Amino acid sequence: MYELMLIMLERLGLIVMLAFIATRLRFFRNMISPAVLSRKQQYTAIIFFGAFGIIGTYSGVTFQAEPFLLQRLKTDIFNHEAIANFRVIGVVLGGLFGGYKVGTAAGLIAGGHRMLLGGFTTFPCGIATIAAGISAAWIRAKNPEITAKPLLVFLIGAGAEMLQMALIVLLARPYTESLALVQHIALPMILANGIGCALFLLIIKSVAKEEEKAAAVQSQKVLRIAEQTLIHLKSGLTPQSADKVCTILYKELNLKGAAIDDGKNQLSHIGGLSSAAVSAPLNSRDTIIGTLKFYFHSQKDITSLKKETLSGLANLLSSQLELAEADRLYNLAKDAEINVLQAQINPHFLFNTLNTVISLIRINPEKARTALRSLSKFIRQNLYSTTVSLQTLEDEVEHVKSYLSIEQIRFEDRIAVSYQIDDSCLHNKLPPLTLQPIIENAVKHGFKGKIEKCELKVTIRDYQDNIALYIEDNGSGVSEDNLVNLAADVSRNTEGSGIALYNINKRLQMTFGSDCGLNFKSRPDYGMTVYFNIPKIS
């Protein structure tokens, strides 16, 4: 038994080496990255894990219990011989990562191959291999987080071998030889295969961590590029700004070349051309206004991560162009007071958000991506608001949620938000950017310096003739003296947010009548409630 244990551990090193080599290949990385495998990836996984099970068989040793004899594995097995092997490693991992289809098919491949080799244990070993793949997939379905726990994967691999030993005793004949076989090989095979499954999992996890680290590096690079290009794209998409952006892309991404066109003419081209190229559209308000072209040195440089990174970069540059368009609309607007409110995107808010994203990239990439998505949605909604005089409450609420999603991340989830909204109200219309500045005022001023949990509540109620809207916070509030004059002259009674509240109050009254202006309730240290009514307008 001890001699077999040493041989099994020695052969296990070969299996681990092959597993490590496999994880370096692109097809393997593409296969384990998505949470749900595509049909093509399932076929790839079946072939890979099935083949790995066959390799596990051939990496074992033939074994004869009476008399005790170990040999190198041959292509055929005599009736009195069996195989001490690592077959279940590939099958178990296939079930854990690929589900029922991959686990079952890999088990059939590896188990069917084992049956063809012969030996008096051929049938129970083949059945046990198939059962191992199905069992691993069942465990994964019951506990999706199992692949993050190496100890449990060790137990699954060891359990699969225990099942095989039990089937050998029950089904293999003659009984005396099967019992003697199990007595000799059970412990070495259970330990070796359990350890092999755990080691294979750790190797796969290391690949996943490498992917996350690479994604974080790429995200940081994208934000650095976005920060550099922001000043140049303020003037819009021109030959001069395109030339500056292409130069930045060429240097930062180590490209062979970079180009930008406006859909009709090429605005700029830096570097050389290559057949290994990726194109990404530049959009403004859902309209394609240009194309970014990235030329790589070779096709192997274009990974799926690179494509995703370039797509995100194009979206950020599109947002910057939309910012430039917002500035242009602002300068052309005749009614400066209203357009100041509608076109404004606080640069401090933008850069604070970007700095927050940069800090999250290394420690929580998923949260960083969520913040970027919310920022893009927030900016797009701000820009859309400059083109309409009324918009639905549904759009207003979505805009508020994008803003608060960013602030909750920035405040490390110290802001608790609750919504009580009647769905029947969502198609009603009101002036754009009515709710968000009120909520921003609560966050910036009401919660300023607050140590305890910050709570914000948005309520929209449907009544027979009108709709009531309430924004409540548990912030610092204002004194009774200030509250008396707040609605009458908000421009002088709020710190820094007076113009925004004043414009909201004025636009509500101009649109719906003098009875539909802002109202306030507050006490110091007990927060503030801003509320108003609007008539039903679809």
Summarize pLDDT for 188-215 with one digit per residue, the tens. Answer: 899 999 999 999 888 888 877 777 777 7
Report how far residue 209's alpha carbon sits from residue 202's, in angstroms, rounded to the nearest whole number.
10
Contact 401/436 with Cβ under 8 angstroms? no
pLDDT of residue 331: 53
Per-residue pLDDT tens digits for 33-86: 666 788 888 898 999 999 999 988 888 777 665 544 445 555 556 666 677 788
Q: Shortest CA distance to 90 belongs to which of 58, 67, 116? A: 58
* CATH 3.40.50.2300 at 230-332, yes or no: no
Contact 463/525 with Cβ under 8 angstroms? no
68-82, 147-161, 383-397, 446-460: which has the minimum mean pLDDT? 68-82
3-state SS, 60-80, equals CEEEECCCCEEEECCCCECCC
* Residue 402 or 32, more confident: 402
pLDDT of residue 330: 56
For the domain spanning 2-210, the CATH number is 1.10.1760
**Is the per-residue pLDDT at 497 higher than 70?**
no
Round the CA-based radius of gyration of the chain to a whole number and report it.
32
Q: Shortest CA distance to 236 belongs to which of 211, 205, 267? A: 267
**Is the per-residue pLDDT at 342 higher than 70?**
no
Alpha helices, DSSP H, located in 239-303: 239-252
**Is the per-residue pLDDT at 417 higher than 60?**
yes
Q: Would you list the domain boundaries of the chain?
A: 2-210, 230-332, 348-538
Per-residue pLDDT tens digits for 421-461: 999 999 999 988 889 889 988 888 888 878 788 899 999 99
* CATH 3.30.565.10 at 348-538, yes or no: yes
